[in-house]
């Protein structure tokens, strides 16, 4: 029986060992490609980075958290429309419970609690996200520089990070807020100074593990600049950790601002959830049973933190293979 002649090209498509001979026959330009496109290490976050937004929108927890944050952002933006006028204007109504005229009641000074809560959303969300972005940026710069440059820079930055970690957070917040001029800028500055160290430690550990990968070593050998390697090679593979750090810093910013202002260390003339709690405490709302004066602001802080925690959990679940496997195992 005659055996038909098979073309050599068909065997290379199937993937048999014959394909190795094609490498020997390839032109010299093809052999230079691996130096410019180093092999992508397994377990890096590049696939998650490309589809993180889409996968977040497909996750129920993330959708619920993002929807809740969007509602608060919309209420804060529309506060001048929904509650026009000065929300801190003192009237002779006194402390009245929720009614048709004042849905969330009035404070002991006759101020509408709903207006105070809506206007407070603007300040609290603005400070929280500003602190979160600023603290994450500082932590990211420190972590990347410490992990990539190493040696003396790493020792110096690690020492500074450890000093800020060892300092007691609350007393440092109180001292800085007490001696600096009151205002929103001071609150953002104080919370950023006291809130970056822990995140820097996490980001440094992640950047150090990526620093040892082959594609980073290939970039160093090819003569790429350090800034390009840090921000184009290492940073994209830390997207999930950076986002988790950002969400944690925002939660810290909102909670710490409310705590500072509740202690009277913020600017009492600015309407925020923290100052609402401060004035409710000063007016004796808890002692007189005027729960409507402090519950709305406290509930808003809890809901925003809950929404950020939902998004944070979803990001961790999407980017962590162990959590994904555990989730699939429960289905």
- What predicted TM-score, i.e. pTM, was given to this entire model? 0.78
Residue 18's pLDDT band (boundaries 50, 70, 90)?
very low
Min mean pLDDT across 32-36, 54-58, 167-171, 268-272 is at: 32-36
Residues 197 and 172 sit within 8 Å (Cβ to Cβ): no
Residue 194: per-residue pLDDT: 86
Average pLDDT along the chain: 81
Q: Residues 32, 33, 35, 39: is their CA dihedral positive or negative?
A: negative
Of 274, 268, 263, 320, give the one whose Cα is nearest residue 297: 274
pLDDT of 131 higher than 90:
yes
Q: What pLDDT shows up at residue 305?
A: 93
CB 190 within 8 A of CB 177: yes
pLDDT digit string, tens, across residues 204-247 = 999 999 988 889 989 888 888 989 999 988 998 888 889 889 99
Cα dihedral value 140, 145, 150, 151, nearest 10: -120
What residues contact residue 56 under an 8 Å CB cut-off, 6+ apart?
62, 66, 311, 314, 315, 318
Which among 52, 40, 41, 50 has a CA at the least distance from the CA of 320? 52
C-alpha span between 182 and 186 (Å, rounded): 6
User: What's the CA gap between 96 and 132, in Å, rounded?
Assistant: 37
For 1-16, write each residue's pLDDT tens digit: 444 444 444 434 333 3
Per-residue model confidence as pLDDT tens digits over 189-205? 888 988 899 999 999 99
- List the one residue out of 329, 170, 149, 166 whose CA is nearest residue 260: 170
Distance CA 301, CA 119 (A): 14
Q: Which helix (H) or strand (E) holds 204?
A: helix 197-211
């Amino acid at each position: 029986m005659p055996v038909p002649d098979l073309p050599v090209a068909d065997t290379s498509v199937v993937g048999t060992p014959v394909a190795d001979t094609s490498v020997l026959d390839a032109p010299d330009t093809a052999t230079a490609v691996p130096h410019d496109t180093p092999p992508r290490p397994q377990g890096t976050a590049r696939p998650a980075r490309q589809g993180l937004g889409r996968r977040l929108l497909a996750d129920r927890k993330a959708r619920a958290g993002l929807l809740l944050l969007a509602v608060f952002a919309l209420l804060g933006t529309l506060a001048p429309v929904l509650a026009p006028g000065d929300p801190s204007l003192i009237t002779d109504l006194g402390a009245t419970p929720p009614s048709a005229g004042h849905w969330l009641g009035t404070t002991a000074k006759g101020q509408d609690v709903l207006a105070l809560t809506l206007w407070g959303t603007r300040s609290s969300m603005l400070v929280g996200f500003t602190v979160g972005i600023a603290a994450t940026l500082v932590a990211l710069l420190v972590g990347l520089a410490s992990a990539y440059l190493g040696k003396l820079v790493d020792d110096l930055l690690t020492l500074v990070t450890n000093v800020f970690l060892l300092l007691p957070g609350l007393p440092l917040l109180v001292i800085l807020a007490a001696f600096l001029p009151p205002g929103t800028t001071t609150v953002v500055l104080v919370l950023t100074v006291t809130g970056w160290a822990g995140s820097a430690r996490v980001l440094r550990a992640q950047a150090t593990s990526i620093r040892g990968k082959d594609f980073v070593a290939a970039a160093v050998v090819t003569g790429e600049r350090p800034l390009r390697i840090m921000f184009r090679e290492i940073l994209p593979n830390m997207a999930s950790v950076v986002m988790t750090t950002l969400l944690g810093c925002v939660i810290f910013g909102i909670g710490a601002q409310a705590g500072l202002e509740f202690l009277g260390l913020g600017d009492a003339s600015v309407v925020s959830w923290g100052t609402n709690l401060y004035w409710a405490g000063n007016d004796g709302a808890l002692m007189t049973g005027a729960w409507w004066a402090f519950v709305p602001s406290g509930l808003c802080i809890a809901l925003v933190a809950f929404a950020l925690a939902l998004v944070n959990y979803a990001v961790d679940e999407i980017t962590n293979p162990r959590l994904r496997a555990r989730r699939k195992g429960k289905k």
